[in-house]
Amino acid sequence: MAELGIQAGDTVLLVWAQPSGPAALQQCAEELRAVAGAGCVSVENMERLLLSSHSASTFDWVLSGLLADSSSTHSSETLAEMARVLKPGGKLVLEEAVTGSEAQSVRTVEKLVSALKLSGFMSVTEVSKAELSAEALSSLRTATGYHGNSLSKVRVSASKPAFEVGSSSQIKLSFGKKPERPALDPNAAKMWTLSANDMDDDDVDLVDSDALLDEEDLKKPDPASLKAPTCGEGSAKKKACKNCTCGLAEEQESKEKPKTNLPKSACGSCYLGDAFRCASCPYAGMPAFKPGEKIVLDKKTLTEA
C-alpha cells in the first residue's frame, strides 16, 4: 500500500466486499496501519457503507475493492457516500470489474469514469488493468449473470474537489471611484458648435439646398419611363416580373379585381341574416347571402316590402 502515497497520520477507510476472505482483509488492514498509524484505519463492508455513522469529511483516503479476490461493483449511491466521507482534496482508489463491450450488468471503463465524475469526483484516471482471478470471476458471474469473455479488473484513482458541497467564498470586488474622463478642450468643442449668431457671420459658408437642384431635377418624370425596359417583354400579353417595382403588377391587379359598389360591412356579420346584424346595417330586411355576393331583390319582394 505504500505505492499509493499514503503517509503517516492519514486517515484511511478500507471498503471490502464478498468474496474477499477474512485473512486477506486482515493482512491488508495491518499493512495500512503500519504506514498510516494504528488508529488511522477504519474497515467497512460495502453493503453497510450507507448505514455507517461516519461523519462528512472524515478520511484522507478511501480504498475500495483492492483485495486480490474482490469483484465488487460500485453503485452511484456508494460512490456518493465515499465522496461525502472524504475530506476536501481527499483521494479515492478503487478496483472494479469492467467489460470491453456494452452490457447491462457490468459497465465499461468509460461508464465507470463517467459515474465517478457524476458523483462529484475529479481528476479521474485509469491506473492499471489486470485479469480477474478464477474465484472473483466465478463470484461476479454468479452475482451479475454476465457470462462474457471480455471481463477484466481496472484500478481507477480520483480526488474530491478542494471544497465542500454547498460551500461559499467571498468574491473581492473593487468599488473604488472610476477614473474621471479628461475634460474636453473648449476650442475643440467650439469647432463643432454652430449657433444662431453664426448664421450672419460672413466667415461661415452655408450651402443653399435649393441651389443643388437644377431645372431637370424639378420636372415630374413620365410614368412610362419609370418602368423596367424588359418588364412584360417576350409575350403578347404583358406580365409583371417577380418582385415588380415599376407599378405594372399593381396596374394588372386593379384591372383583374372587379369593382363592386356593395355597401361595406362594419361588423362583418351582415351576410348571416337579421339576427346577426346591427341596427344601422345597410342589409337590414334582406335574406342571408354568401360573403361578397351581390344582392338583387325581385319586384315581388320590393312590392311586399
Q: How does pLDDT run across 265-290, given as a tens digit for each residue?
A: 667 777 788 888 887 777 777 788 77
Identify the burial level of 241 via C-beta atoms within 10 angstroms of its C-beta, where 0-12 means exposed, 13-18 middle and 19 or more buried.
Answer: middle
What pLDDT was estimated at residue 270?
79
What pLDDT was estimated at residue 177?
75
Q: Are strands 59-64 and 86-99 parallel, antiparallel or unpaired?
A: parallel
90 close to 159: Cβ distance less than 8 angstroms: yes
Coil/strand/helix, residue 196 = helix
**Strand order across the beta sheet in which 122-130 lies:** 41-45, 12-16, 59-64, 86-99, 151-159, 122-130
Q: Which three cell numbers stand for residue 103?
A: 452490457
Kindly provide the b/e burial profile for residues 70-82, where b requires at least 16 CB atoms within 10 angstroms of the residue's own CB: bbbbbeeebbebb
Residue stretches of the chain with pLDDT short of 50: none
> SS3 string of 72-127?
CCCCHHHHHHHHHHEEEEEEEEEEEEEECCCCCCCCCHHHHHHHHHHCCCEEEEEE
Identity of the residue numbered 206: L
Partners of residue 86 on adjacent β-strands: 59
Q: If you search the block for the grid coordinates 484505519, which residue do you land on?
A: 41
Q: What pTM was estimated for this model as a whole?
A: 0.53
Distance separating alpha carbons of residues 269 and 6, to the nearest angstrom: 89
What pLDDT was estimated at residue 25?
87
What pLDDT was estimated at residue 300?
56
46 close to 96: Cβ distance less than 8 angstroms: no
Number of C-beta neighbours around residue 55 at 10 A: 9
What pLDDT was estimated at residue 289?
79
Q: With left for phi above 0 and alpha for psi between -120 and 50, is residue 9 left, alpha or beta?
A: left
Q: Which three cell numbers stand for residue 1?
A: 500500500
Distance separating alpha carbons of residues 269 and 277, to the nearest angstrom: 6
What pLDDT was estimated at residue 82?
93
